[in-house]
Amino acid sequence: MTVWIVVSILLVVLSPLAWLRPSRHQSGRMALRMEARRIGLAMQLAPQEWPHWLGQEPPNPCAQYHRPRRGTQPACWSYWQKSPGLWVNQWQELCDDQVLLNHFEKLPGNVYKVEADKQMIALYWGEKGETAVLQHIDTTLKALA
Give the helix/strand (H/E) hosting 112.
strand 111-116
> Residue 9 falls within a domain, yes or no?
no
Burial tier of 71 (Cβ tally within 10 Å: 0-12, 13-18, 19+): exposed
Single-letter amino acid code for the residue at 2: T
Number of separate domains in the chain: 1
> Residue 122 falls within a domain, yes or no?
yes
Arithmetic mean of pLDDT, 127-132: 82
Arithmetic mean of pLDDT, 134-139: 90
Residues 91-113 have pLDDT tens digits of: 999 999 899 999 999 998 889 99
Residues 20-74 have pLDDT tens digits of: 777 887 888 888 888 888 988 889 998 988 888 887 788 889 999 999 988 777 8
pLDDT at 81: 92
> Residue 90 falls within a domain, yes or no?
yes
Residues ≥6 apart with Cβ < 8 Å to 107: 81, 114, 123, 136, 137, 140
The domain of 72 spans 25-144
| pLDDT level of residue 8 (50, 70, 90 thresholds) | confident
> Residue 11 falls within a domain, yes or no?
no
> Residue 4 falls within a domain, yes or no?
no
What does pTM read for this prediction?
0.80
> Residue 20 falls within a domain, yes or no?
no
